[in-house]
Amino acid sequence: MTGWMGKILRVNLSNGEINEETLDSQVARDFVGGRGLAIYYMLKEVDPNCDALGNENKLVMTTGPLTGTRAPTGGRYMVTTKSPLTDAITCSNSGGNFPAELKKSGFDAIIFEGRAAEPVYLWINDGKAELKPAGHLWGKDTHETDDAIRAETDNKAKTAVIGPAGEKRVLFASIMNDRDRAAGRAGVGAVMGAKKLKGVAVRGTQKVSMADEERFIEINQKYRGRFKEVKKAGPYPLTTHGTAITVVATQAHGVFPPRNFQTGQFKEWEAIYGEALTEKYLVKAKPCFSCPIACGRVTKVPDGPYQGQGEGPEYETVYSLGSDVGVGDLAALTKANYLCNELGLDTISMGSAIACAMELYENGHLSESDIGFPLEWGDGEALVKLTQQTGMREGFGDILAEGSLRMATRYGHPELAMVSKGLDLPGYDPRGTQGLGLNYATSPIGASHMRGDLPYCELLGVPVKIDGLTWADKPPIVVKWQNVFSLIDAAGLCVFFSIRYLCDPTLEIRPEGIMNLLNAATGADYGLDELEKIGDRILNAERLFLLRAGFDRRQDSLPARFTDTPMPDGPAKGVVCHLDEMLEQYYQIRGWSQDGLPTEEKLNDLGLAGM
Amino acid sequence: MKVHVDLYVNLKKYAPANGSSFEIQLESGATVKTVLKVLKIPANEKAIVLVNGRNADESNPLKEKDTITLYSPISGG
């Protein structure tokens, strides 16, 4: 095989057995890799009704055929498991250098099963894998763990580890790789903690072989050239200011969520957006493996009560630990971001849970005696304190650690949790981004912006600008975009480059560049229709897992705040998200019944009937 | 008529003195294109255009107190 390494590592944590398996070439062709390969194994091997934190659940780390190659942004991997936060399937994507190193260590994927009796970490040194004791690392934060594991193995090793939050099964604990990159969403770190797996360290010097090396180099230069041309015309916003520059667009459209999405504009936005970060705390931009953009931020808060250094904040964090909790103090939210990275917490769900608690407190459903101190909107000190408490499951943090929906239900007001399928919303109000509203509700993992990112066209003007307030035109766009995003996640690429430079610059986003790179790498001779169908197959396979876990149309939903309460002010004033109307058309286009079930014919067409 | 203009990201460089959020005086019948001309924003400078936070293009007519927002395409969030 070329492009693929052709090997899967299976690690049974219960008995310590480690086995290599051959990657089936037909499975590789049909599911590509990354998110696709992972759902193939999850559907085949995991009972969707299992306890997410029990022995039966598996944790699958997958790369794609373009991971570890010089393809632009060819440095992503996917972590897939049943989520303890949502009980749905979840897959969480991350970049950095760990994914490429994992691939170059000789494996396309690792499947973890069972549970270790005592803490362990997995060490893969160029194809040789062993489990090593990690009792001495238990309790350490993610940075300390990275330091210790590299000292014990190889200083050049790359790691993916959990912090105290994963060990203590905080339901939205992340897996941090390369210290500050996160597979953050829906509690993948809690599953790792439940398995007593502290980390994975990899060292790899193997080359990802190419079916047609010359052609790969030629087209790689062509696509990188497209980016260079745009960059030549003026500073590239993502490189200069990171993803937090996106606030400009969300605030202008009135979809930048303040105070648990109560309105659509945050009056202190200029204090926390990308340019403020650049001016005050940016040390340098940091790229992931093979990425020409470099949107990562190395930052330092030099003095004051929130002094510290690390990476971030990105856009989603500026929303979740900033506007959503009413905090306009960039130092405080940056400090809370550093703590999330070190403790191993998803910044989106952390901020969203605190925002939910603040609204419960505002309405008198939570009291000072419940929390231990007052919890007013905009209190940066409380934000930092609660983040620390959550990561350690101390004090009120033990309740926040269960996530916003469980907490809001406990205090009698589940409607105040801003979630879909139990997963907290990213930072775009779906009343002003109708297509994204449909996306949130139908994303297999719950409210994710990375499963068909409509803000690109509804807010950011990439590849073209459309109106975020219209809804009748959105279902066909959402279906197409969800399919292509599945493909990007399967190939091992980052959406930031792929959407703008590897896809047709229309709403069709036909993935010609991805096809060309995949074909040169794998020799699979994929066609465009076939690749779009693979995206569709991945989505439907994930849907099957969800349905078997007990989900149906009722969970393809949004909080009533978005569907029943018109936006109170700003450019989207008076608008609700027309989810039900969009869903009907969405199901039709997908080939699903109005109950949200894929038809027999659809499953046959996608080759999923037997799964 | 007087309209408000907000310039962001790479469009900031076309602001007159005193910041990138400002008011300008236009003749009645002006459109977004008039604003681009007054500010000397070249045709090859890619800009996303909003009027009062709503999607708009160059031909969009303007009225008293409108807010015109212009920013560069941003790929990511």
Element (H, E) at A197: strand A197-203
Q: Between B54, B72, B74, which is nearest A571 by CB?
A: B54
Q: Would you call B2 exposed, middle or buried from its count of C-beta atoms within 10 A (0-12, 13-18, 19+)?
A: exposed
Q: What is the dihedral of CA A163, A169, A171, A174, to 10 degrees?
A: 20
Beta-carbon contacts of A380 under 8 Å, excluding residues fewer than 6 positions away, are: A306, A327, A329, A331, A332, A333
Q: From the CB of residue A261, how many other CB atoms can be counted at a distance below 10 Å?
A: 26
Q: Between A235, A254, A461, which is nearest B53 by CB?
A: A254
According to the model, what pLDDT value does residue B77 have? 57
Greatest pairwise CA separation for chain A in angstroms? 67
According to the model, what pLDDT value does residue A561 have? 98
Residue at token pair 């939050």: A165
CA distances from A302 to A142, A236, A241, A295 (A): 22, 26, 19, 21
CA distances from B5 to A253, A273, A341 (A): 15, 19, 39
- Residues A233, B71: C-beta atoms closer than 8 Å: no
> Closest-CA residue in chain B for A275?
B9
In B, which residues are within 8 Å of A462 by CB distance?
Answer: 73-75
In terms of DSSP H, where are the helices of A401-491? 404-410, 434-442, 455, 474-491
According to the model, what pLDDT value does residue B18 have? 75
Q: Between A237, A428, A466, which is nearest B74 by CB?
A: A237
Q: What percent of chain B has pLDDT over 70?
A: 97
A245 touches chain B (CB under 8 A): yes
In terms of DSSP H, where are the helices of A233-346? 237-241, 247-253, 274-280, 315-320, 330-343
* Residue B76 predicted with pLDDT over 80: no
- Residues B77, A460: C-beta atoms closer than 8 Å: yes
> Closest-CA residue in chain B for A294?
B76
Q: Which two tokens stand for residue A13?
A: 């944590």
Give the integer Cα–Cα distance in Å for A393 and A402: 10
In A, which residues are within 8 Å of B73 by CB distance?
Answer: 460-462
Q: What φ, ψ does residue A28 adopt, rounded to 5°?
A: -60, -45
Give chain A's residues under pLDDT 70: none
According to the model, what pLDDT value does residue A233 have? 85
ipTM above 0.85, yes or no: yes
In B, which residues are within 8 Å of A461 by CB distance?
Answer: 46, 48, 73-74
Task: Report the amino acid identity of residue A95.
Answer: G
Give the integer Cα–Cα distance in Å for A144 and A528: 45
Task: Report the amino acid identity of residue A176.
Answer: M
- Cβ(A434)–Cβ(A412) under 8 Å? no
Spell out the long-range contacts of A231-237 with Cβ–Cβ below 8 A and sequence spacing 24 or more: A233/B44, A233/B45, A233/B46, A234/B10, A234/B45, A234/B72, A235/B10, A236/A293, A237/A274, A237/B9, A237/B10, A237/B72, A237/B74
* Residue B75 predicted with pLDDT over 80: no
Helix (H/G/I), strand (E/B), else coil: A610 = coil
Give the integer Cα–Cα distance in Å for A292 and A283: 18
pLDDT class of B17 with cuts at 50, 70, 90:
confident
Q: What is the DSSP letter of A599?
A: P
In A, which residues are within 8 Å of B6 by CB distance?
Answer: 252
- Residues B55, A466: C-beta atoms closer than 8 Å: yes
- Residues A465, B48: C-beta atoms closer than 8 Å: yes
For residue A243, the distance in angstroms to the closest alpha carbon of chain B comes to 5
Q: What is the dihedral of CA A421, A425, A431, A435, to 10 degrees?
A: -70
For residue A15, the distance in angstroms to the closest alpha carbon of chain B comes to 42
- CB-defined contacts A:B, below 8 A: 85
> Closest-CA residue in chain B for A252?
B53
According to the model, what pLDDT value does residue A610 have? 85
Chain A interface disruption, residue of B54, B69, B74, most A CBs within 10 A: B74
Give the integer Cα–Cα distance in Å for B46 and A230: 10
According to the model, what pLDDT value does residue A147 have? 98
Q: Which of residues 170-189 of A touch B (CB under 8 A)?
A: none
Q: Would you call B63 exposed, middle or buried from its count of C-beta atoms within 10 A (0-12, 13-18, 19+)?
A: exposed
- Residues A571, B52: C-beta atoms closer than 8 Å: yes
Over range B71-75, report the average pLDDT. Answer: 87
Over range B14-18, report the average pLDDT. Answer: 87
Q: Between A233, A428, A462, which is nearest B75 by CB?
A: A462
pLDDT tens digit string along A327-376? 999 999 999 999 999 999 999 999 999 999 999 999 999 999 999 999 99
A570 touches chain B (CB under 8 A): yes
